[in-house]
Amino acid sequence: MRYKSVILWLTGIISALCLFFLSFTWKANSLRDDAIKYATTKDGKFDPSRKIRYIDSLWKQPVYLGFTYQEVTNYALHKGLDLEGGLHAVIEVSPIEILRALSGKSSDPNFEKAIEIAAKNQVNSAKPFNELFFEAFASVAPQQRLATIFANSVNRDKLKSTSSDAQVRKVINKEIDSAVDRVYKIVQARIDKFGVANPNIQRLPGTNRIQVELSGVDNPERARKLLSGAAKLEFVEVAEIDEWGQSLNALAEYLSNQEKLEKSAASILNQDLSGTKADSAKNGGLAGKLSSKAGADGNVKKDSTASSALTKLFVPLDNQGRSWGVFRKDTAKVNELLSRPEVKILFPSHLSLVWYAKGIEANNGDEIIQIEAIKRGEGGTAPLEGNVITDATQDFDPSGRPEVTMTMNGTGARIWKNITASNIGKRVAIVLDNYVYSAPMINGEIPNGRSSISGSFTVEEAKDLANVLKAGKLPAPTHIVEDAFVGPSLGQEAINQGYLSMGLGLFLVIIFMVCYYGKPGWMANIALLFNVFFISGVLVQIQAALTLPGIAGVVLTLGMAVDANVLINERIREELHRGAGLRNAIKIGYEKALSAIIDGNVTTILIGIILIFFGSGSVKGFGVTLCIGLVTSVFTAVYISHILVDWMAERAIKAGKEQEVTFETFISRNLFKGMNFDFIGKRKISYIFSWSLIALGMIVIVAQGGFNLGVDFKGGRSYVVEFSKPVEAGKVKEALKDNFEEKGVEVKTFNGDTKLKVTTSYLVEDESIQANQKVRTALENGLKEFKDAKPVILSESKVGATIADDILKQSFISVIYALIAIFIYILIRFRKWQYSLGGIIALTHDTLVVLGMVGITRLFGFELEIDQIFIAAVLTVIGYSINDTVVVFDRIREEIGSDADLNDKELIMKTINRSINHTMSRTVMTATTVFLVVTVLLVLGGDVLRGFSFAMFVGVVFGAYSSIFVAAPIVIDLGTGKKKKTITEPAPLSVVK
């Protein structure tokens, strides 16, 4: 084998990297178990706050090979919410309110009419709202320029009354995009303070939406309020140490007294949450400079016992003790301390202690979070809030240093003038969501509302501060258009189902390969195990999340990975039957199988890329896993297995046992041998059967009123409820009807007879948090009738009507794009449009059969929801089917040549028939292996994967069927004419006995 040493080195390097990154998963799991153990009290109760405290204590500390807890969790294999439990949400920033704000709350009737038309058109359009508004305004007021609406005091620095429509559009588009970006940064900052490990926050391209995934969240309502609440920007005076030194002194005395009363090493103020002995020397670098307490004048007295107690938690940031901070690992303890009633009374009522948003890196690898005392007015209100900001930008001062300039409206300018005049030489804090982002010094009175904020900023920090200030410029309200909460117990059940499916699927494939190919089957199985190992390692390296559909993708990849080994082994068997020696047969077998393997996998990878691009959440995870699996499958099946098979052959040759290596067993020896069935001659029968089945399916679906669309396609809310004993779905449905005000409600069993899935369209148009609570309360009231069965809501999900429509359109578009991509690829590779069109017709056939079988099986009580995961399965069927078809096409091309004229019908029919017969063993073997793993998924994958498994189950059978009876015969029927070329038939296969 050529490049054997390169392959061995590459395999070694990839294996080492996979082992290295997978070790982070082992360590992260170990640390998580330690955190759970620490958070579990002696009476067995779990305290989430103790878990957060434990994580905070180690977050910036080296815990493994010099990596901190934060880095270890970042490098570990992430589990999707369907496995880990938690909250998934899609937040939409309202462009309507942004347009209203930019218009200066215009009451122009044409403006309002355009807004109304754009809102209606958005339901049936994939265009951004702002583009729909521009179109609507042009149709409502063709003679009116946009500048008459938007050239106002709000935009005076950007637009003039003479500005063209193109200029106005540019400004509006930029402002909407900027608003979404600001919301993204605010949400990101909030989530960072929420205490969630590995949050996933990303903007969805081409939309005004932000996707958030928070694993392990056990309070979804709190998280929802955090995500959708309006940003609160405040300008407040900073209280210097002179004003709260006495309070700090009192706190030091309090801590000292606590130490005397609590001599136990387990004291909350003295214990080390990492399990190691307390080491006050950690603070020595800074605390050693100040072993003191604040006096009445704000100065410090050294060598105080009280000060020693204080500096075990608080870190002085300067030699005068005027600025203080806390190590990140201690912030949870300090929060708990400051929340105590007896501590609160130590501080003046008008003062609030707040954290800085960004930390300071400490010498010990931890972070120090500065704490600041700010002065709010009566009732806790700030003298000036962010709604007065009209603009804020990052700029440079005359010395070329980054700064931030901001502009206020008239009201804000007047208040700001008073604040700055009375605070010259003092600091004013810029506070967003109760976190300090900057506390600049006031150098003089600012009379006109235009200010510059300078400091030791980087350009990026200055941009971030400008974004914070602009958060108050425009009202950009957000609402959650899609969310799903999965409880931990349901997530664990999904993990068990997924791993059991993967393990059993792998076991069946291994047994099958050994039974069919004997010893060479073991070589293929070793390559298969390498494949699973590489998939896991790559998922960790790219920090992808493993979801339940992702596990299904791994299971499916196992079946499809065998396809390459089957192709190779079948080619080697052919060469051995022709009389080639073992070495030569292996060499030729790998060479001839390579093009079919590449073509088949590339077409399926195209499907995976489309899933990644158009899918979201678990569907995207499936696409990622599928693509990774296909790439690693080619490497392991073509190269690693080649090394293993060569090694096996060399050993046999040296031992004089070459004849014993046969690539077959007593089971496979005579299967498909001498097969010469006239598939092409029966094509009309197959046409009639196929289209009759499709027609029957479509008629049944129409008669049933269409497909049973899932929540993500039609909108609504869905809940999984667990009972302590079986209950009837019909009775639950009747009990819920009145509570849901006779709106649509569906109830059906879910993963066993003690769980039910409840889906309702009640308040589907209302996307507020209050509506969520109202629907949940209605559900809980309806379930009171079954209180003896102890109902527990395990998960809940919501998809707004608008986003559901978008998801449905994207799913349809993704199928169309998949067909187009495959058509183009086959045309490029085979250089005949007949192959491309034949393949597309076969794929359309498979898709329609799968959809039709959904309706037909519903007649027998097997009801499925059509959701995103089902569409992912349809796309995978397309990928699998074209993979199978390409193998047949590849053999046809090999026998007649890529430049052959397809119009010589008689000889082409004979050649295609022969090609199908020659590839029959491969078609059946691949279909069988994939069929085995899909059957495992159908039986063990649970209700979440039932639609996916069913689509694949039907698709595997009819994908193999269409490759033989639809795709290849259609190539014949698309190219007919007079005989133009004679094709010499190859000699019949000889059999070596």
Do residues 535 and 22 lie in contact, with contact meaning Cβ atoms separated by under 8 Å? Answer: no
Q: What is the pLDDT of residues 86-139, one digit of tens each?
A: 787 888 887 888 888 888 888 899 999 999 898 888 766 667 788 889 999 999
**Domain final residue, candidates 183, 214, 231:** 231
Domain membership of residue 692 (yes or no) is yes
E strand or H helix at 88: strand 86-93
Does residue 248 share a domain with residue 141? no
Across 647-764, the runs of DSSP E, i.e. the strands, are 716-722, 745-749, 755-760
- 265 with 122, same domain: the answer is no
Q: What is the CATH number of the domain that holds 500?
A: 1.20.1640.10
How far is Cα 631 from Cα 541, in angstroms, rounded to an integer? 15
Question: Is 81 contained in some domain?
Answer: no
- pLDDT, tens digit (0-9, with 9 covering 90-100), for 374-429: 988 766 788 888 878 888 888 888 888 888 898 888 888 999 999 999 889 889 99
The 3-class SS string of 556-581 reads HHHHHHHHHHHHHHHHHHHHHHCCCC
- Over the stretch 699-710, which tens digit does the pLDDT of each residue have? 998 888 888 777
**Does residue 913 fall inside a structural domain?**
yes
> 3-class SS at 744?
coil
Does a structural domain hold residue 993?
no
Paired tokens of 512 = 């099958």
Instruction: Name the band, by pLDDT with cuts 50, 70 and 90, for residue 984.
Output: very low
- Residue 989 resides in a domain: no
The answer to whether residues 375 and 389 belong to one domain is no
| 367 & 431 share domain | no
* Extended strands (E) in 95-225: 200-203, 209-215
Q: Name the one residue in this structure whose structure tokens are 């496979």.
A: 668
CATH (domain of 410): 3.30.1360.200
Q: Specify whether 681 is located in the same domain as 828.
A: yes
Q: Is the pLDDT at 943 greater than 80, yes or no? A: no
Whether 783 has a pLDDT exceeding 90, the answer reads no
Quote the CA–CA distance of 808 and 799 in Å, as a whole number. Answer: 12
Say if residue 338's pLDDT is above 60.
Answer: yes
What is each CA distance from 236 to 323, 746, 771, 844, in whole angstroms? Answer: 17, 52, 35, 65
pLDDT band at 832 (very low <50, low <70, confident <90, very high): confident
Within-domain flag for 711: no
Question: How far apart are the C-alpha atoms of 88 and 91, rounded to whole Å?
Answer: 10
Digit-coded pLDDT (tens) for 487-539: 666 656 767 777 787 788 788 888 888 888 888 888 888 988 898 899 888 88
Q: Please answer whether residues 904 and 976 qualify as being in contact, where contact means their C-beta atoms are separated by less than 8 angstroms.
A: no
Highest mean pLDDT: which of 36-50, 162-176, 356-370, 651-665? 162-176
Amino acid, single-letter form, for residue 381? T
CATH of the domain at 760: 3.30.70.3400
Q: Which of 329, 356, 379 is the last residue of a domain?
A: 379
| Co-location of 531 and 591 in the same domain | yes
Q: Which of 340, 363, 379 is the last residue of a domain?
A: 379
What distance in Å separates the CA atoms of residue 137 and residue 117, rounded to the nearest whole number?
9
Residues in contact with 391: Cβ distance below 8 Å, sequence separation at least 6, in sequence order: 157, 406, 407, 470, 473
pLDDT category of residue 271 using cuts at 50, 70 and 90: very low
Residue 833, C-beta contacts closer than 8 angstroms, at least 6 positions apart: 827, 974
886 and 599 Cβ atoms separated by less than 8 Å? yes
Which among 162, 148, 77, 52 is positioned nearest to 109, based on CA atoms? 148
The whole-model pTM stands at 0.67
Number of domains, the chain = 6
In this structure, are 856 and 899 located in the same domain? Answer: yes
DSSP 460-527: HHHHHHHHHHHTTTS---EEEEEEEEE-HHHHHHHHHHHHHHHHHHHHHHHHHHHHHHSHHHHHHHHH
Same domain, 431 and 531: no
Q: Are residues 245 and 361 in the same domain?
A: yes
Choose among 716, 729, 771, 778: nearest CA to 943.
729
199 and 123, same structural domain? yes
- Count CB atoms within 10 A of the CB of residue 434: 13
What is the C-alpha separation between 471 and 207, in angstroms, rounded? 19
CB atoms within 10 A of CB 567: 26
Query: Could you say which DSSP state residue 965 is in?
Result: I
Domain that holds residue 349: 240-379
Strand pairing of 209-215 and 300-302? Answer: unpaired
State whether 862 and 925 are in the same domain. Answer: yes
User: Which of 153-162, 354-363, 442-451 reaches the highest mean pLDDT?
Assistant: 442-451
Rounded-to-integer distance, Cα 467 and Cα 448, Å:
21
CB 701 within 8 A of CB 855: yes
Residue 825 belongs to a domain = yes
Position 689 confidence tier, pLDDT thresholds 50, 70, 90? very high
251 and 370 share one domain? yes
pLDDT band, very low/low/confident/very high, at 692 (cuts 50, 70, 90): very high
Is 987 among the domain residues? no
Two tokens, residue 753: 């007879």
